[in-house]
Amino acid sequence: MPAIQTSEPVSDLFVIGGGINGCGIARDASGRGLSVVLAEMDDLAQATSSSSTKLFHGGLRYLEYFEFRLVREALIERETLLRAMPHISWPMRFVLPYHPSMRFESDTPTSKLLGTVMPWMKGRRPAWLIRLGLFMYDNLGGRKILPGTRTVDLRADPAGVPLNAEFETAYEYSDCWVEDSRLVVLNARDAEARGAKIMTRTRVLHAAREGDLWAVEVEDRETGARRTHRAKMLVNAGGPWVGKLLKGAIDVETREGVRLVRGSHIVTKRLYDHDKCYFFQGTDGRIIFAIPYETDFTLIGTTDADHPDPSTPAECTPEEQEYLCRFASRYFERDVTREDIVWTYSGVRPLYDDGASSATAATRDYTLKVHAEGGAPVLNVFGGKITTYRRLAESAMEKIAPYFETERERWTAGVPLPGGDFPVDGVEALIEGLETAYPFLDRRWARRLVRAYGTEARAILGTAKTAQDLGRDFGATLTEAEVAWLVEKEYARSADDVLWRRSKLGLRLTEDQAAALEDWMQGEGAARHG
């Protein structure tokens, strides 16, 4: 049956991509009074923005690449973001074990410099260098909330218990955790609340200039219906597809390129009992993290491997699994093996192609390019980190503003995301309040709801007096009331959206339970979103 072609009103911005960068720009622009339409071909955060290590971090290792601007911006940003979303983000301590005999193969600018001025240092990352890096980390970024660095005696500290006995000393520093895919959804919701139109399961097929406008042809992937949207400016925030969009779907001449670097994680049963993370240095010059994850698990990652094409699904290969297990086993007293793995995930970093020789060395900084020759302007977004998404959106607005009359200045710092309107140290009080108001919740359930929805948890629970009042129980404390909220307010359309991006309950539901949820989503759930 031929697709029906209809037309939509003209908007100021048309954003391609519902990852963190597209949604962050949509939110910022809507708050400045621009009319915004955003199209995401799958679910929000379906691609890279749900596959990160989930850290708001300065990026300690980028100091070795002299990426001071990026590190400083990211360090300052951690606390701004933490204040705006104290439900989905929280501080974490990172323990970096050190041993004087450690040797590294590394071609970072720092190691090259050391090798030249102090040839006897070749292949080493001496303790003073790590301390210098941590001193900069403590002081570059206006730290107010997060505690600073300290030296740890691993022979006496609980952090030493799960580690190989050869490690006696470590350095401990702060960064923040963030639920990456929830961050994306909350930005999309806030954008919508400020007037944006958010379309998921909507693929951009083609965008062509019509004088001062862009004509953007989209396809609804559920119905096959096609529409043409017109907009004064196009924003290409297609992440790993940014280059492909430029070469195919968008009519524009450009030589900018993107370098696709895959990163994989493994999730194991919980490997240790305390709540701190580890920062392990590898002999290959790389680093990995081991992070307490979803209470009962440990997250280990990541790898760096060139990835051929965005349409090739990113998967954690057996070799990557083996590499991460071996890497972690060098530090943990017990061996980490593939039998410990309960889940893996993998994502593709859309890095600006700066000609770096290795995937590890390619810049993590972002680059924004506007093309306005030949008609209506297009802004292309390359690179960037979850941590810098809000600053990236502000920089994008600086590039966008000259084309529009918008009075409003930067506004997103200090404005909470949905559910985040409470103090940074207010989570425990919120959990206790929820338990008092809803005595049928146990501590774990209440904590999960507060960590996901913050002050909005009460809106989901409503007037419920018993767990049965929340409707069907899908397993692992996931109820019909919560799923209905995710469908009606948070764009969830499938069981995977609920289990792997709005939550991580996929780690706990059985296959049968997940299948029952999918049935509900396609029946009752579909009716709820019309």
- Between 341 and 481, CB nearer to ligand FAD: 341
Q: Are 89 and 187 in contact (CB under 8 A)?
A: no
The footprint of ligand FAD on residues 369-388 (CB under 6 A) is: 384-387
Shortest spacing between CB 271 and ligand FAD, in angstroms: 19
Q: Using CB under 6 A, which of the segments 40-48, 77-85, 86-94, 397-405 binds ligand FAD?
A: 40-48
Which segments within 124-168 are labelled E, that is strand?
150-153
Residue from 99, 122, 203, 399 touching ligand FAD (CB under 6 A): that is 203
Task: Fill in the per-residue mask, 396 to 435: x = in contact with ligand FAD (CB under 6 A), - = not in contact.
Answer: ----------------------------------------
- DSSP type of residue 250: B
Q: Does 17 bind ligand FAD (CB under 6 A)?
A: yes
The residue within the footprint of ligand FAD, chosen from 133, 160, 240, 418 (CB under 6 A), is 240
Q: Does 325 bind ligand FAD (CB under 6 A)?
A: no
Q: Which is nearest to 316 in space by CA: 351, 341, 296, 337?
A: 341
Binder of ligand FAD out of 53, 344, 363, 479 (CB under 6 A):
53
Minimum separation from the CB atom of position 489 to ligand FAD (A): 19
Does 54 bind ligand FAD (CB under 6 A)? Our answer is: yes
Among 11, 30, 35, 48, the residue binding ligand FAD under the rule CB under 6 A is: 48
Q: Does 49 bind ligand FAD (CB under 6 A)?
A: yes
Spatial separation of the C-alpha atoms in residues 348 and 309, rounded to whole Å: 9
Smaller CB separation from ligand FAD, 160 or 243 = 243
Closest C-alpha to 43, from 401, 383, 394, 498: 498
Residues 468-527 that bind ligand FAD (CB under 6 A): none
Q: Which is nearer to ligand FAD, 383 or 454 (CB)?
A: 383
If 0-12 CB within 10 Å is exposed, 13-18 middle and 19+ buried, where does residue 262 land? buried
> Phi-psi bin for 475: left (phi > 0), alpha (psi -120 to 50), beta?
left
Q: What is the DSSP letter of 314?
A: P
Nearer of residues 42 and 64 to ligand FAD, judged by Cβ: 42
From candidates 58, 160, 239, 454, binder to ligand FAD by CB under 6 A = 239
Which of 6, 48, 5, 1 has the alpha carbon at shortest distance from 23?
48
Q: How many CA atoms lie within 13 A of 287 on its CB side?
A: 20
Q: Does 52 bind ligand FAD (CB under 6 A)?
A: yes
By CB under 6 A, which span of 37-45, 98-106, 274-282, 395-403 interacts with ligand FAD?
A: 37-45
CA 315 to each of CA 30, 240, 291, 349: distance values in angstroms, whole numbers, following the listed order = 35, 15, 20, 13
CB of 392 to ligand FAD, least distance (A): 9
Of 64-72, 156-164, 236-244, 402-410, the segment contacting ligand FAD by CB under 6 A is 236-244
Quick one: DSSP state of residue 294? T
**Per CB under 6 A, which of residues 254..293 are in contact with ligand FAD?**
263
Nearer to ligand FAD, 17 or 97 (CB): 17
Residue from the set 11, 13, 15, 22 that interacts with ligand FAD by CB under 6 A: 22
Residue 71 near residue 144, CB atoms below 8 Å: no
Close Cβ partners of 208 (under 8 Å, ≥ 6 residues apart): 214, 215, 251
Nearer to ligand FAD, 249 or 336 (CB): 249
Two structure tokens written together for 72: 């400083």
Instruction: Report the alpha-carbon distance of residue 395 to residue 401 in Å, rounded.
Output: 10
Q: How far apart are CA 133 and CA 152, in angstroms?
A: 16
Whichever of 75 and 470 has its CB closer to ligand FAD, that residue is: 75
Residue 37 or 47: which CB sits closer to ligand FAD? 47
Which residues touch 113 (CB under 8 Å, ≥6 apart)? none
Two tokens at 366? Answer: 């972002």
Using CB under 6 A, list all residues that contact ligand FAD: 16-22, 39-42, 46-49, 51-55, 57, 203-204, 237-241, 245, 249, 263, 302, 347-350, 384-387
